[in-house]
Structure 1
Amino acid sequence: MAIIGSLIKGALELKGALSSEPNHLEAQQKVLEELLKTASDTDFGKKYLFEFILQSDDVQKNFAQEVPYFDYHQLYEQWWHKVIDGQENVTWPGNPDYFALSSGTTGTKSKRIPVTNEMIEAIRKAGIKQVEALSNFDLSSEFFEKEIMMLGSSTDLQEKDGHLEGEISGISASNIPFWFEGYYKPGKEIAKIDDWDKRVQRIAEKAKNWDIGALSGIPSWMELMLQKVIEHHKVDTIHDIWPNLQVYTSGGVAFAPYEKSFNNLLSQPITVIDTYLASEGFIAYQERPETDAMKLITDNGIYFEFVPFKPDYINQDGSLKQDAPSITLADVETDQDYVLLISTVSGAWRYIIGDTIEFTDVERAEIRITGRTKFFLNVVGSQLSVNKMNAALREIEQKFDIEIPEFTLAATRINDEFHHHWYLGTETSIENERLSEALDEVLKEANKNYKVARNKALKGVRVTTVPSSIFSEWSGAQKKKGGQVKMERVMSEEKFTEWEAFVSQSVSN
């Protein structure tokens, strides 16, 4: 009998029974007021009249009126470059000890996002909330005694100008509490290895020494790690190595595209739990098994706003037009995509994190990530979001009984006519033309704007299939493997030319 596991599970169940659902609207009002009070004497707080906002009758309304939207580049150019140079009290009191390096998707210069001690504490509290929510899932007592494999970026943070830099997963792992170290794998020594291939090789070599009950990490890199472990030990599935594996905590991207290929690495079903941890903060987590939607963390250092995701409100580079209307949690609706804005204890203000979300349950504040603002393909009015692309590919998978865990596309011009050119990561002998025709029909049926575009300026659809491994190789060539690196789903014509040259060279080799 798992005595310790039973005690832990019982304690979590008791905590859940005693905890009540927060009033999300009141929690958000309180978070905003605390953010404004704390930062009122900073340079940013003085410029945007935080003291005045706090004294107004409607703090949320006046905050939205006084403070403009910022994407990373705007916030960096106007404010955060001073923080990085070591100035204090710029957008948050003092100067942070950490900066999270993030390119979001591959091929762009790394961003340096401040990570304050208050943010590290907020991430820790959010992690505890997620652990407590495990009591809602049907997990055995034995599970709570097993080890957890956290596959993030290297914890070997780089010191620069008096602060430490690394990806947020590495910063979080380097700050794990002492009581968790016994559960945490691959352990500090292996986690410090910067080279992803070497780190995964060491994981594969050590794998049989561990009793892993849960996995945590981005799906694409987690799959590659599991494949490496399976190949190294010459077994059929990961359960031959880790028979007690029960849970996978996904995050960063939608899990659905990877579900079929991921399940092929298992000998028994596992519980998949979604999380939303970004470089800017721990935003949401899946609280209950009845849904794959995630609950916004409304009482933990992040204030949320939402802009309806409409082409008229979005600039070509994915940033928001300053006259785009924002709303608070009090006014959101289901079945509507929103651009997510956050203000945080790390000194981000009305910050465009780059993701679009939809609410599945307003009362519970539960959401799904539907895509990226920069991955919205609206050339000639086709209005394709990543969510719609993913949904279409799931239908193609079902129709042809294939797996398509990876894809990218661009709007290309042939003789001044626009075409959508899709690259699908899949192992199949089905002709590209058949896939192209099927994908085109699925998109027409599901999206009226796409259908209209196809009858006008969008003249055709092309599909090229390549091995899924090409996508991870591209990510490695553009930046580096593992961690928070994600594949860009929609490319510019210029970037797409680089991609095609890379694919051509990789296939010829």
Structure 2
Amino acid sequence: MAVIGELIKKAIDVYGLITSEPDPATAQREVLRHLITKARLTAFGKKHQFSDLLTSDDLVKAFQQAVPVHDYDKLYTDWWHYLLEGHQNVTWPGGQQYFALSSGTTSNSKAIPVTDDMLEAIRKSGIQQVMSLKNFDLPSDFFTKQILMLGSSTSLIEKDDHQEGEISGISAANLPAWFRTFYKPGIEIASIKDWDEKVRKIAQEAPTWDIGSLSGIPSWVEMMLKEIITYNRLSNIHEIWPNLHVYTTGGVAFEPYRKSLEKLFARPLTYIDTYLTSEGYLATQKRPDTSSMALILDNGIFFEFVPFTDENMDENGRVKPDARVLSLEEAEENTDYVLLISTVSGTWRYMIGDTVMITDKQRSEIKITGRTKHFLNVVGEQLSVFQMTQAMQKLQQQFDIEIQEFVVAAVRKDGEYINKWFIGSDRTADDQQVAAALDQALCEANKNYKVARSKSLKGVETEVIPVEHFYRWSEEYKKLGGQAKIPRVMKEEDFREFEQYIKALA
């Protein structure tokens, strides 16, 4: 098998030599032209005169002038509800076989179309990720090992003329035959809908597998590994998976989970971040000396960037009609942007809900900095999830605790606003000391927050609680496992309900 691994590694190296990274601006213009050309005879394409756009001297500007910015509600109300009713050629040619049920933190009811072209694009992006492994220092036999992908159930919901499920489940259900030799836990276990049952089955089968790579949301991967270790009476996971070298993460920031995860390993892994959403595979980390991800520029997704400022956003976190929108070519480094995408699934100038920062324009690398609706700015704090996560990392070091989850809201106390935090940790800490340290870290990181603390934001309170409380809440009110995420910011009403639930567990 080592010989086979060496051959595979050499093949990847050769592929990397004969392929080169595309010029970003050229690649994106070609993607946009392909999207408009293919969709020109759809109802959406006719409505927005796509055929005429193709004759424009500046296709990008013409496209931006002709097509408005959409969020999910607008696209669903105006167009996508026809797809769910069985109509064809609405926003993309043909009918609709799959819908991805969004597992994001802002809604539990989104149904995103996933076309055959998108499934093919996701597969191609996966190949790009595999090819980028040549940049990481991995042993040859790694390429013969199995890959454990912890995602949602592959047992999809059958509707009249389509199937529904989370994007990880849809993707796993459509894996190419050659890949299933490497894929674990296998379709049978992956189809189990109950999280606890699925994890128990994985724990039972784990000693028979030779896993080289893990992928999944950190919190659920950690819970799975703990169950495997407990069930099989291990000290760490490398006792049964000695060839485990890579963890491919995504969906949420990884750093808050690094310390607790590494307690489950005999040695640190190679960590690779990815950006796979219900709307498509947007970016992947391609080199080891950064945690940023390279946008996938030549594979069915056209990117646009809206500066994340009060001038461009309304009070509901939506992009204003007159907002300034930039192409990748025009965008700058180290600026928060709202990300818009147009894709081979018939999303058009779609506000995906994430904010990103370009960290290396030459390489088209980005970091996810937060969510447009998970940006705390009730009384002028203007805190991004990225800044919150950085503050949590400081707390981990200062108090020698592991912080895997947290949630915050601006709530009223004695007629004044305070920021109230629940912090999920493996150990207790003095809440007043944690609150003071958190307040100081945020003041140092964000001048707007510091000003708010001197005026309208009258206090900061924290409660350090067992991280399991977050997961019990997720199981009861959202969904446990798979691609489900814990929100970082809540509205006051939702936060009060969460607070009551947590107090009932005490």
- Secondary structure (helix, strand or coil) at the match of 1:269 reads coil
1:77-134 Cα distance to aligned partner (Å, 9 max, x none): 111001111111111111121111114127x332111000000000000000100111
Matching of residues 338-357 of structure 1 within 5 Å: 338-357=337-356
Counterpart Cα distance in 1 of 2:271 and 2:473: 27
Report the CA distance shift for 1:429/1:217 in structure 2 as closer, same or farther (over 3 A).
closer
Counterpart Cα distance in 2 of 1:262 and 1:358: 26
Counterpart Cα distance in 1 of 2:328 and 2:115: 25
Superposed CA RMSD in Å reads 1.0
- Secondary structure (helix, strand or coil) at the match of 1:314 reads coil
Counterpart Cα distance in 2 of 1:317 and 1:151: 33
* Counterpart residue number, 2:72: 72
Contact 1:116–1:346, Cα closer than 8 Å, also in 2: yes
Q: Which amino acid aligns with 2:101?
A: L
Q: Which amino acid aligns with 1:86?
A: G
Counterpart Cα distance in 2 of 1:73 and 1:506: 35
Matching of residues 77-476 of structure 1 within 5 Å: 77-105=77-105, 108-476=107-475
Query: In the TM superposition, what is the alpha-carbon distance from 1:9 to its structure 2 partner?
Result: 0.6
Counterpart Cα distance in 1 of 2:390 and 2:495: 23
Query: In the TM superposition, what is the alpha-carbon distance from 1:416 to its structure 2 partner?
Result: 2.1
- Secondary structure (helix, strand or coil) at the match of 1:313 reads coil
Counterpart Cα distance in 2 of 1:278 and 1:345: 14
- Secondary structure (helix, strand or coil) at the match of 2:134 reads helix
* Counterpart residue number, 2:38: 38
Counterpart Cα distance in 1 of 2:426 and 2:141: 38
Query: In the TM superposition, what is the alpha-carbon distance from 1:449 to its structure 2 partner?
Result: 0.5
> Identity percentage over the alignment?
56
- Secondary structure (helix, strand or coil) at the match of 2:326 reads coil
Query: In the TM superposition, what is the alpha-carbon distance from 1:156 to its structure 2 partner?
Result: 0.6
Contact 1:97–1:163, Cα closer than 8 Å, also in 2: yes
Counterpart Cα distance in 2 of 1:442 and 1:66: 44
Question: What TM-score do you get using the length of structure 1 for normalisation?
Answer: 0.98
- Secondary structure (helix, strand or coil) at the match of 2:329 reads helix
Query: In the TM superposition, what is the alpha-carbon distance from 1:322 to its structure 2 partner?
Result: 1.4
Counterpart Cα distance in 2 of 1:429 and 1:8: 48
Q: Which amino acid aligns with 1:405?
A: Q
Q: Which amino acid aligns with 2:356?
A: I
Counterpart Cα distance in 2 of 1:267 and 1:407: 27
Contact 2:428–2:465, Cα closer than 8 Å, also in 1: no
Give unpaired runs (5+ residues) of structure 2.
none
Counterpart Cα distance in 1 of 2:456 and 2:500: 27
- Secondary structure (helix, strand or coil) at the match of 1:491 reads coil
Q: Which amino acid aligns with 1:421?
A: K
Q: Which amino acid aligns with 1:61?
A: K
Query: In the TM superposition, what is the alpha-carbon distance from 1:66 to its structure 2 partner?
Result: 1.3
Counterpart Cα distance in 2 of 1:393 and 1:15: 41
Which one is further off, 148-157 or 318-327?
318-327
* Counterpart residue number, 1:12: 12
Question: What TM-score do you get using the length of structure 2 for normalisation?
Answer: 0.99
Counterpart Cα distance in 2 of 1:2 and 1:310: 53
Query: In the TM superposition, what is the alpha-carbon distance from 1:262 to its structure 2 partner?
Result: 1.0
Query: In the TM superposition, what is the alpha-carbon distance from 1:342 to its structure 2 partner?
Result: 0.2
- Secondary structure (helix, strand or coil) at the match of 2:403 reads coil
Counterpart Cα distance in 2 of 1:310 and 1:477: 36
Contact 1:36–1:50, Cα closer than 8 Å, also in 2: yes
Q: Which amino acid aligns with 1:455?
A: S
* Counterpart residue number, 1:28: 28
1:425-484 Cα distance to aligned partner (Å, 9 max, x none): 013332100000110011111111000000000000000111011111111112221122
1:120-176 Cα distance to aligned partner (Å, 9 max, x none): 000000000100111110000111111110000000111102111110000110111
- Secondary structure (helix, strand or coil) at the match of 1:220 reads helix
Contact 1:102–1:484, Cα closer than 8 Å, also in 2: no
Counterpart Cα distance in 2 of 1:360 and 1:109: 31
Say whether residues 1:47 and 2:51 are aligned partners. Answer: no
Counterpart Cα distance in 1 of 2:311 and 2:396: 33
Query: In the TM superposition, what is the alpha-carbon distance from 1:358 to its structure 2 partner?
Result: 0.5
1:411-432 Cα distance to aligned partner (Å, 9 max, x none): 0011221100010001333210
- Secondary structure (helix, strand or coil) at the match of 2:241 reads coil
Contact 2:342–2:348, Cα closer than 8 Å, also in 1: yes
Query: In the TM superposition, what is the alpha-carbon distance from 1:315 to its structure 2 partner?
Result: 2.4
Query: In the TM superposition, what is the alpha-carbon distance from 1:197 to its structure 2 partner?
Result: 0.9
Q: Which amino acid aligns with 1:89?
A: N
Counterpart Cα distance in 2 of 1:67 and 1:163: 28
Contact 1:191–1:199, Cα closer than 8 Å, also in 2: yes
* Counterpart residue number, 2:485: 486
Counterpart Cα distance in 2 of 1:410 and 1:321: 25
1:327-348 Cα distance to aligned partner (Å, 9 max, x none): 0011111110110000000000
Query: In the TM superposition, what is the alpha-carbon distance from 1:498 to its structure 2 partner?
Result: 1.1
Counterpart Cα distance in 1 of 2:445 and 2:152: 37
Contact 1:296–1:366, Cα closer than 8 Å, also in 2: yes
Counterpart Cα distance in 2 of 1:22 and 1:434: 50
1:381-409 Cα distance to aligned partner (Å, 9 max, x none): 11000000001111111111111110001
Query: In the TM superposition, what is the alpha-carbon distance from 1:218 to its structure 2 partner?
Result: 0.7
Q: How many residues are aligned here?
A: 506
Q: Which runs of 4+ in 1 moved over 3 A?
A: none
Contact 1:342–1:353, Cα closer than 8 Å, also in 2: yes
Counterpart Cα distance in 1 of 2:476 and 2:321: 36
1:260-305 Cα distance to aligned partner (Å, 9 max, x none): 1111111111100000000000000011111111110010000000
Q: Which amino acid aligns with 2:298?
A: D
Counterpart Cα distance in 1 of 2:267 and 2:316: 44
- Secondary structure (helix, strand or coil) at the match of 1:490 reads coil
Say whether residues 1:61 and 2:61 are aligned partners. Answer: yes
- Secondary structure (helix, strand or coil) at the match of 1:381 reads coil
Q: Which amino acid aligns with 2:7?
A: L
